[in-house]
Chain A
Amino acid sequence: MYNLLRFFIRYHLFILFVALEAFCFFLIYRNGKYQKAAYISVANGISGKVYDVYKGGADYFYLRRYSDSLVEENAYLRSQLLESKFDNRVDSGMVSDTSKRFVQTYTYITARVIRNSVNRSTNLIYLDKGRRHGITPQMGVIAPNGIVGQVIDATDDYAAVMSVLSKDFKVSARFKKNEYFGNLHWNGLSSTTAILEEIPKHVPVKEGDTVVTSGYSQMFPRNIMIGVVKKIKSHPDKTFLDVTVALSTDFGNISYVYVAKNLRKQELQQLDSLTKTTNND
């Protein structure tokens, strides 16, 4: 007993050190995959405020650039309007009920980026809108030039987005010119490229091909720009190609984003659970 006591007295500092380190590791590994999510709910409230105030001041220096990019995007969107298009149908005699032809699937919530990083292994982007504005986890986030990431957590006023530049981020992507699709993820090396996986070797791909979202994940609408093929490698001992994609979003320079809200997600989830139960039976 005395020896045990002596041991504790002699090594009390080391024991304290180990105990505190254990506490830190508990914090780090508590939440498994998204280590951060739960903690951020508390943290965002405080740090979100600080970043918000700071960004509010810093934003004035970039007003010109912001408005330029917004004008550019408006011009593009105008070109997409039905009024800007010529109806090229030959059988124009056929009457179709246009009011029922298109059903709104995605709506967009605009948000401002108040914090951003590109040099860590999980890069989080904080937005200045949260649950009060309708943002919930699992929503896709896009910028004018391409996809940005996925919402992982939201407080009342702020949201945390895991950007494409994160080790846990995955999105279903396809080539624009054909329907071949695969998984896109980041390899941690550069903030401008990502890897497209699971593309079979027989697929005709060449450098410069456009990669867009497949729309399978319900997170992003179909055909949202991701990037262009930068490099293709074919290993003889692998069944799939190694496709490096140059991302179209400039992650070092995102100021305003759109959070995509899928209005028909619930219906699809219902279908999902239905098929699951029938498969189990």
Chain B
Amino acid sequence: MSALESFKKEVGEFLDQNCPESMRQPMKSEDDAYWGGRNGSFKNDDQKSWFEAMAAKGWTTPEWPAEYGGGGLSKDEARILKKEMAKRNCRTPLLSFGIWMLGPALLKFGSEEQKHQYLPDIINGKIRWCQGYSEPNAGSDLASLATSATTVGDNYIVNGQKVWTSYADQSDMIFALTRTSGEGKKQQGISFLLVDMAAEGVSTRPIKLISGKSPFCETFFDNVKVPKANLVGAEGGGWSVAKYLLTHEREMIGETTDPSAMIPLNVSAKKDIGMNADGKLADPVMRKEVAEWEIDGAGFLFTIARLKDEMKAGQPIGAKSSFLKYYGTELNKKKYELHLTNKGLDSLGWDGEQYEEGKLARMFCRTKGNSIEGGTSEVQLNIISKRILELPSE
């Protein structure tokens, strides 16, 4: 047996023993997820034991180096773990912006001290992180951000406001872009700071969305003292960190809207609309719309696979991540439009058990943000124009 085969066997046995049956069901809502943190609580014992088993092996972050508590797996091993988990429908044991966003940035830009200080607590779920990028006047034009960090002795004093900070009201720490200099190009005066949400002067306020939910907050900084040791990368070097993370985020958004993760549209359409006597969807206009969407959806899946194969063959993904973000989010929005048309008024119930508390209607509303967050569709098209097609700036 090759090393990978025996690893596969070992993983299989571990999962069979440690992943309880209830953790092998699809999550019904975000409430079923474990996010960790000082205030995090487990929904039940199964969730706790599953998380603890995975965290003990460092498999909440399979590919992170073992010296920080990560799984230390090779790419091939990580792929096997992912596959074996998928085979058993194992839930992701820990959802975390620390894992998806801050960790990769620390691994690339952080000091050795910072890595040892922060990575273990991300891996074992002790600290929950949130992201502070956007501001009321710095959305698509992120580099014009104004939250200031002024040097006073060994500290920065931070003042300003962030917006669209996901789950800021439940997080322990925030990684934030701040302005340390107003000189020169606006991208050059930005610094990447780690701020304790419990520090004096930090406050949050949830934002209610059109979906009726509040996954985002406004976060305010009023003379918040932040030790200089919490600067990641160089002072004024925050833009490179942010750009690296945004590319990472776009790839992820492109992938999380992976159409294979969704119920095939035609299955729900058949149920919602019904079939006519010759075996066709009863609404011919919807039949066309569904077929068009399914072809684009399949084409998008094949394209993700193709770009991965090209990456393996040595062609970096680069600005193509903007294509994935743009196309994936637009497809997802379109899909929910089609669901609404298929179900008619039944899709629009806002609360009550009959309508699963408005699940579909609220999801529909939420999808409208897909093409705004993480860089709008228009920004992605700008990036494709400039970086891939090399069209000139006006």
Q: Do A and B bind each other?
A: no
Residues of A within 8 A of B (CB): none
